[in-house]
Amino acid sequence: MEAPELPDIVGALRAVLPAECVLERAEERRPYECDGLTAFRSVPAVVVLPRTEDEVRRTLLTCHRLKVPLVARGSGTGLSGGATPHPAGVLLSCARMSRVLEVDPINRIARVEPGVPNLKISEAAAPHQLYYAPDPSSQVACSIGGNVAENSGGVHCLKYGLTVHNVLGVRGYTVAGERIELGGQAPDSAGLDLLALTIGSEGLLLIVTEVLVRLIPRPPCAQLVMASFADVQSAGSAVAAIIAAGTIPAALEMMDRKATAAVEPFVHAGYDLQAAAILLVESDGTPEEVREQVQEIERVLRAAGATALRVSESEAERLRLWSGRKNAFPAAGRLSPDYYCMDGTIPRKHVGHVLEAIERMEREYGLRCMNVFHAGDGNLHPVILFDANEPGSWERADRFGAEILELCVQLGGTITGEHGVGLEKLNSMCVQFSPAERAAFFAVKEAFDPDGLLNPGKLIPTLARCAEYGRMHVHGGAMPHPDLPRF
């Protein structure tokens, strides 16, 4: 796609926006070259920092008129390259649109701008004993607009759902500057469910400028059970056993020995470093509900082979045990110059099988991998450790991650649970979806953005790309790991 030269873009934007909203100097644009996945970098032609909806609209109208690509960005904590800029385009940052516009405790909702950090919503609702449930590990920094784009989850998504289950409505603008309002406070709305379509669309359809979220009462009591296991297979089986028993905990997380060994010196959470894997299982509700559920959880875990159990006895202890899981990614940075966090989803009964397969892959690729999972809903986060300064190291990490995702698909899962596709998983989309399905995705994109200006080259791979990837990775229609059970 041909775009105007840099002076034309900058001049056109300066004509419709305040001067402080437009960044054109190289040193101003460089910090926006990537998101949390640093393997993909591209300096944008210009950066726009709007403060109002109208400034967003004017930016879109200008890009649409000049046929200039535009990529939206929140806090830049994404892990799939979804906010990687276009080198001949505009990077629109929503960081300055960071107001909590309204907290309505009667209707249990909050209206917020897209740049509001996730945790700030709960802090604003705290005086009313309410909070916003989805809690990604980066919730201190990640923005609600980015959460909407990626359909983010968190450790408590097992009981309370992903972003799509907790966002009631959005307002935004198409690439042509047309305002759209989707969803609302009503329990249902007429027509197609375009709100659900928008959540997780990674900025390909419209730019969100306001989000209406559901608030829920903060549970009066919560306890966390930490269970130790002598092998990963037993820990994986215990995950399935808890759900099969009819118990839906508030959270059900798993960490292997490599992960706990990385985390413990960093945050001193009190983890069992002798265990091959630990489960963190939380119950919340009234004191009576929690007591009864914790007893049932302990019973199931013992029957599943837990070698040790520990139940938090105070709120401080509960938060300390969670601090280790929340800081798993920073802890990985203490072990290796670089790390690559994957994000696939499998039926939870296959957790043990996947961990064993990852151990084999570690030997094959000559790289270490620590594993932290949203085990309750089968969402895997293998963290592959590598050194980008070592020739071929990133390429091996990339192939390692792709093989994990192919395994997820083979077992009846999917290539992403909450991080999105972005640039990272374009090839893996070729494994997950047929040509007809990908053509349908393109048709939806074209209906919203006929010129393909919003976040181009992300999420949906071209047929040519998939044909090339198939020649490289799928031989005779056979997927890897035929020895592992299917769903």
> What pLDDT does residue 7 have?
62
Interval 270-288: pLDDT, tens: 999 999 999 999 999 999 9
Q: Which CATH class is domain 6-93?
A: alpha beta
Q: What is the spatial distance between Cα 375 and Cα 155, in angstroms, rounded to a whole number?
A: 9
Interval 412-425: pLDDT, tens: 999 999 999 999 99
**CA–CA–CA angle 476, 477, 479 (5° rounding):** 110
Residue 411 pLDDT greater than 80, yes or no: yes
Structure confidence at residue 188 as a pLDDT band (50, 70, 90): confident
Mean pLDDT of 61-74: 97
* DSSP letters spanning 398-415: HHHHHHHHHHHHHTT-BS
Beta strand residue intervals within 205-256, DSSP E: 207-214, 216-217, 221-229, 251-256
DSSP secondary structure letter of residue 30? G
Q: What is the spatial distance between Cα 93 and Cα 113, in angstroms, rounded to a whole number?
A: 12
Handedness of CA 287, 292, 298, 301 (dihedral sign): negative
Structure confidence at residue 28 as a pLDDT band (50, 70, 90): very high
Question: What is the length of the chain?
Answer: 487
Backbone angles phi, psi at 105, to 5 degrees: -70, -25
More confident: 484 or 103: 103
Q: What is the spatial distance between Cα 360 and Cα 178, in angstroms, rounded to a whole number?
A: 51
> What pLDDT does residue 479 have?
43
Say whether 336-473 and 221-329 share the same fold: yes
**CA–CA–CA angle 406, 343, 359 (5° rounding):** 65
**Domain locations in the chain as residue ranges:** 6-93, 100-217, 221-329, 336-473
> What pLDDT does residue 6 have?
60
Evaluate whether 148 touches 374 at the Cβ level (below 8 Å): no
Residue 197 pLDDT greater than 70, yes or no: yes
Residue 174 pLDDT greater than 80, yes or no: yes
Structure confidence at residue 486 as a pLDDT band (50, 70, 90): very low
Residue 333 pLDDT greater than 90, yes or no: no
DSSP secondary structure letter of residue 486? P
Q: Which CATH class is domain 100-217?
A: alpha beta
> What pLDDT does residue 464 have?
83
Report the candidate in 142, 289, 133 with the shortest Cα–Cα distance to residue 223.
289
And the tokens for 235? 């820990």
Average pLDDT, the chain: 93
Residue 396 pLDDT greater than 50, yes or no: yes
Q: What is the spatial distance between Cα 200 and Cα 203, in angstroms, rounded to a whole number?
A: 8
**CA–CA–CA angle 459, 461, 465 (5° rounding):** 150
Interval 213-263: pLDDT, tens: 999 999 999 999 999 999 999 999 999 999 999 999 999 999 999 999 999
Interval 92-125: pLDDT, tens: 999 999 999 999 999 999 999 999 999 999 999 9
> What pLDDT does residue 48 have?
98
Q: What is the spatial distance between Cα 279 and Cα 292, in angstroms, rounded to a whole number?
A: 19
> What pLDDT does residue 471 have?
65
Please, is 100 exposed, middle or buried when counting C-beta atoms within 10 Å of its C-beta (0-12, 13-18, 19+)?
middle
Please give the distance of CA 302 from its chain centroid, rounded to a whole number: 32
CATH annotation of 336-473: 3.30.70.2740
And the tokens for 61? 């109208």
Handedness of CA 231, 232, 238, 244 (dihedral sign): negative
Which of 3.40.50.1970, 3.30.70.2190, 3.20.20.70, 3.40.50.740 is the CATH number of 221-329? 3.30.70.2190
Evaluate whether 183 touches 167 at the Cβ level (below 8 Å): yes
Interval 18-27: pLDDT, tens: 999 999 999 9
Q: What is the spatial distance between Cα 141 and Cα 374, in angstroms, rounded to a whole number?
A: 20
Q: What is the CA radius of gyration of the chain?
A: 23
Structure confidence at residue 473 as a pLDDT band (50, 70, 90): low
Structure confidence at residue 470 as a pLDDT band (50, 70, 90): confident
Interval 127-152: pLDDT, tens: 999 999 999 989 999 999 999 999 99
Q: What is the spatial distance between Cα 301 and Cα 293, in angstroms, rounded to a whole number?
A: 12
Strands 308-311 and 207-214: unpaired
> What pLDDT does residue 242 have?
95
> What pLDDT does residue 487 have?
28
